Chain A
Amino acid sequence: MSLVIKVGLASCGLAAGAGEVYDAIQKHIKKNKIDAELKKTACIGMCFVEPLVEIYEEEKKSITYGDVTPENVGDIIDAFSKGKPIEENVIISNILKGSENKTFKKQKRIVLRNCGIIDPISINDYLEKDGYSALEKSIKNMSREEIIDEIKNSGLRGRGGAGFPTGLKWQFAYNAQNDKKYIVCNADEGDPGAFMDRSVLEGDPHSVIEGMIIGAYAIGADEGYIYCRAEYPLAIKHLNIAIEQATKKGYIGNKIFGTDFNFELHIKEGAGAFVCGEETALMASIEGKRGMPTIRPPFPAQSGLWGKPTNINNVETFANIAWIILNGAKEYAKYGTEKSKGTKVFALAGKIKNSGLIEVPMGMSLRDVIYDVGGGMKTERPFKGVQLGGPSGGCLPAELLDTIVDYDSINKTGAIMGSGGMVVMDTSSCMVDIAKFFLNFTQNESCGKCTFCRVGTKRMLEILTRISEGNGKMEDLDTLEELSENIKKGSLCGLGQTAPNPVLTTLKYFREEYIAHIKDKKCPAGVCTALIKYEIIEDKCIGCTVCAMKCPVNCISGERKQVHKIDQNVCIKCGACYDACKFDAIKKG
């Protein structure tokens, strides 16, 4: 029997060196005449132990190895062929003890059903996993109303952030009377620290395309756009290939399944503007204009792209559709809570051990997501907070870890579910700095149309900067809250309306940290550079000169074997010396 060897070649796999591992395997099996089929796949979600290689004779007895190198992969294959697989670095396996067997089992993979399993650019792989049979079922056996009802009954809500019921949105677009309608996939994924959509597009592009075609059929659209951020070249490449394949097979084009349903699909690359993730701005951008949001109503369902009725959904929303059509609304609604059905994909990042992509049923607690599925903290330092929802979201403290993952429960805390970015922080992060970080981001990305969003965020950023430099006053905290309320009320689009959230949540849950900056002029986490100082401890310094060589501004002086000294007037507080000293002779305070 021959072996199957799969290598994960998604963006972060490639960044971790999976391309070299692939080449090494190819060479090894050729040289040793090993009977093996070498396959490419994408992201299985265990990005923290990339490069990943799966190996099996029968799929039921497979082993996935992590941290594979071009040097050790030959041994892994040889040992497996001899029936004595290596037991180190096993991540997931159904025959050996894998370090992540348990965490993997806690997931429920609907959106990610094929990610990391199939070759994303092989339509045959997708077809073998029942690909396009939901499309066939929809067109041949269901009326357009039945499809929309099925999606409504599933309880699926939009995964792009706002959580609007998808079936209802489709109903609005269906109701619009017009001979031309559009369907659009929002793949702009602007939340810095989130990569769910990237992984789905790279790993299973057909699932998104199939969802879009079903949606187009249901609402009566004959043309679609996928708006993908240009920072995702591999996703764009896979989408292009997938569209071409689907067109060849007749799932895109004229007379699909012999009916009079026609559909064409285009890709538009973004040009780097976070606000273009907002639906009206996104449509303006597709039309070739500056991506400025416009007032709703009219909603896209009435007047969207080029004034025609348009339905916009997120990547993950579309990736759910085919599964729901095939398995039924009831089966989908089994997962989740009363008002948030199904599963949610999260991108775990920051100081969490298993950083990568996971999919869990709604209703799981944040604690279980972070500690059970995510493996807990990566560093020795304790958990401090988790950021949900990116620039529109908030930071939640340890006391709120029992909050469950569902739209309404998370909203109650002042954060938002958002698109699924979850950045875990330990005590080395400063919450004033985090608030400043997000405000800086939104302030840069504000399109400038509304005064409150443009000027208000700037004022808030000035205040936060002042606080982080030790020049804040207690009244500043009230001003921040006041400005927040005004910006929320006076902004046209979601960017401005939610921009204060990172500040409000940190003020609410980490207020004492703001006070430490203002009253004690101290940054407890040691992050805000104006409030910290690096000093050499005379008793410990042995004069090895390493720090002096590292210092970018040459402000450390001292002869070899003599105690060194930092010129505080010149020091830019980069911390390079602190990291470099092997004798713990530099203190940060």
Chain B
Amino acid sequence: MKYKTEIDIAINKFVGKKGALIPLLQNAQDIEGYLSKEIMSYVSEKTGIKLAHIYGVATFYTMFRLKPQGKHIIRVCKGTACHVSNANSIMNEVNNHLNLSGKEDTTKDGNFTVMSVACLGCCSLAPVIMVDDNTYGKLTPDSIGKILKKYE
């Protein structure tokens, strides 16, 4: 399996601690960007936690991703403040710029994955997007191209 050593390190870090499954999965996800079936089975095998339980947790929380992700993650805020500040037009422009139809969320070259989130806590700057760890606010559809260029 790819990344076996890294996953082992993550497992060892949490083994025997109470309530460790979620941080363990967060750690495992950081390694490859998503939770593959293989990784979940491996975690189950190593920790003795039932695969059904792991899968149940992974599907319950939106933070866990079960599909491969683009190199950069674009989070478009669709919280209340952004919604009333025309977040839809920002989402349209992001999809438009990346030639995504809105049905698929990852660009063909695997560079970007687009997702909508429920609030980034920067509502004063609505509408807001976050690319990887950087937040951009007071956006208009025209500002999108320039921002995404930095990551292309």
Question: Do A306 and B124 touch (CB < 8 A)?
Answer: no
The answer to whether B124 touches A269, judged by C-beta atoms less than 8 angstroms apart, is: no
Contacts of A285 in B (CB 8 A): 22
Task: Count contacts on B: residues with CB < 8 A to the other chain.
Answer: 45
User: Is there an interface contact between A576 and B84, defined as CB atoms closer than 8 Å?
Assistant: no
- Asked if A558 CB lies within 8 Å of chain B CBs, one says no
A350-B84 contact, Cβ under 8 Å, with A269-B26, A288-B19: yes
Give the most central of B62, B83, B126, B136: most A CB within 10 Å: B83
Query: A11-B135, A192-B119 are contacts. A268–B19 as well, Cβ < 8 Å?
Result: yes
> CB of A172 within 8 A of chain B?
no
Indicate if B66 sits at the interface (CB-CB under 8 A).
no
Of the candidates A11, A12, A15, A271, the one whose C-beta lies within 8 Å of that of B22 is A271
Check if B128 is an interface residue, CB within 8 A of chain A.
yes
Distance between B137 CB and nearest chain A CB, rounded to angstroms: 5
Are B124 and A47 within 8 A (Cβ)? yes
Residues of A within 8 A of B136 (CB): 15
B70 CB to nearest A CB, Å? 18
Output the nearest chain B residue to A45 by Cβ-Cβ distance: B124
Query: A529 CA to B125 CA in the complex, in Å?
Result: 25
CB pair B121–A423 under 8 Å, yes or no, is no
The reply to whether the CB of A98 lies closer than 8 angstroms to some CB of chain B is no
A544 to chain B, nearest CB (A): 16
Convert B1-38 into 0s and 1s, putting 1 for each residue whose CB lies closer than 8 angstroms to a CB of A: 00000000000000000111111001000000000000
Give the nearest-CB partner of A306 in chain B.
Answer: B18
Q: Please report the C-alpha to C-alpha distance between residue A441 and residue B78 in the assembled complex, in whole angstroms.
A: 10
Say yes or no for B51: interface residue by CB 8 A criterion.
no
Task: Check if B89 sits within 8 Å of A231, measured CB to CB.
Answer: no
In Å, the complex CA distance between A2 and B120 comes to 38
- Report the minimal beta-carbon distance from A441 to chain B, rounded to whole angstroms: 7
Contacts A230-B63, A291-B60 hold; do A271 and B121 have CB atoms under 8 A apart?
A: no
Contact indicator B60/A12 (Cβ below 8 Å):
no
Docked pose: A269 CA to B120 CA in angstroms: 15
- Find out whether the CB atom of A288 lies under 8 angstroms from the CB atom of B135: no
Given A291-B60, A552-B96, verify A193-B19 contact (CB < 8 Å).
Answer: no
B80: which A residues are within 8 A, CB to CB?
A: 191-193, 349-350, 387, 390, 421, 423, 437-438
A290 in contact with B81 (CB, 8 Å): no
Contact A14 B135 (CB under 8 A): yes
A231 touches B57 (CB 8 A): no
- Whether A398 is near chain B, meaning CB under 8 Å from some CB there, is no
Do the beta carbons of A272 and B63 come within 8 Å of each other?
A: yes
**Known A198-B121, A231-B121, A355-B123: A271·B64 in contact at CB below 8 Å:** yes
Contacts of A387 in B (CB 8 A): 80
Q: Which residues of A contact B119 (CB under 8 A)?
A: 191-195, 231
Query: Cβ of B96 and Cβ of A192 under 8 Å apart?
Result: no
Would you call A435 an interface residue if the criterion is a C-beta within 8 Å of the partner chain's C-beta atoms? no
Query: Closest residue of chain A to B14, judged by CB?
Result: A288
Q: Given the known inter-chain contacts A195-B123, A271-B22, A287-B18, please indicate yes or no for A12 contacting B137, CB distance below 8 A.
A: yes
B27-64: which residues lie under 8 A (CB-CB) from chain A?
56-57, 60-64
Question: Is B148 close to A, CB under 8 A?
Answer: no
Chain A, residue nearest B57 (CB): A290
Q: How far, in angstroms, from A466 to B146 measured CA to CA in the complex?
A: 37
In the complex, are the beta carbons of A288 and B21 less than 8 A apart? Answer: yes
Is A21 in contact with chain B by the CB < 8 A criterion? no
Chain B residues, CB < 8 A from A350:
80-81, 84-85, 123, 126
User: Is residue A369 contacting chain B, with contact meaning CB distance below 8 A?
Assistant: no
User: What are the residues of chain B within 8 A of A230 when measuring CB–CB?
Assistant: 26, 63
The proximity string for A residues 16-42 relative to B, scoring 1 for CB distances below 8 Å and 0 otherwise, is 100000000000000000000000000
A190–B136 alpha-carbon span in the complex (Å): 20
Residue of A nearest to B102 (CB): A572
Interface membership of A494, Cβ < 8 A: no
Known: A191-B119, A233-B133, A268-B19. A356 touches B61 (CB 8 A): no
Query: Contact: B81 with A349, CB < 8 Å?
Result: yes
Q: A192-B119, A273-B61, A274-B118 are in contact. Are A574 and B79 (CB under 8 A)?
A: no
Closest-CB distance, B90 to chain A (whole angstroms): 11
How many angstroms from the CA of A572 to the CA of B89 in the assembled complex?
A: 11
Q: Is A150 interfacial (CB-CB < 8 Å)?
A: no
Contact B135 A574 (CB under 8 A): no
List 10 A-B pairs, Cβ < 8 Å: A12-B122, A15-B128, A15-B136, A192-B80, A195-B123, A271-B64, A291-B61, A349-B81, A350-B81, A437-B83
9 new A-B contacts at CB < 8 Å, known A47-B124, A272-B61: A12-B135, A15-B122, A50-B124, A195-B124, A231-B117, A285-B22, A290-B60, A349-B126, A576-B93
| Residues of chain B having any CB pair with chain A under 8 Å | 18-23, 26, 56-57, 60-64, 78-81, 83-85, 88-89, 92-93, 95-96, 117-126, 128, 133-138, 141
Query: Which A-B residue pairs are the 6 nearest by beta carbons?
Result: A192-B79, A193-B80, A47-B124, A271-B61, A349-B81, A272-B62
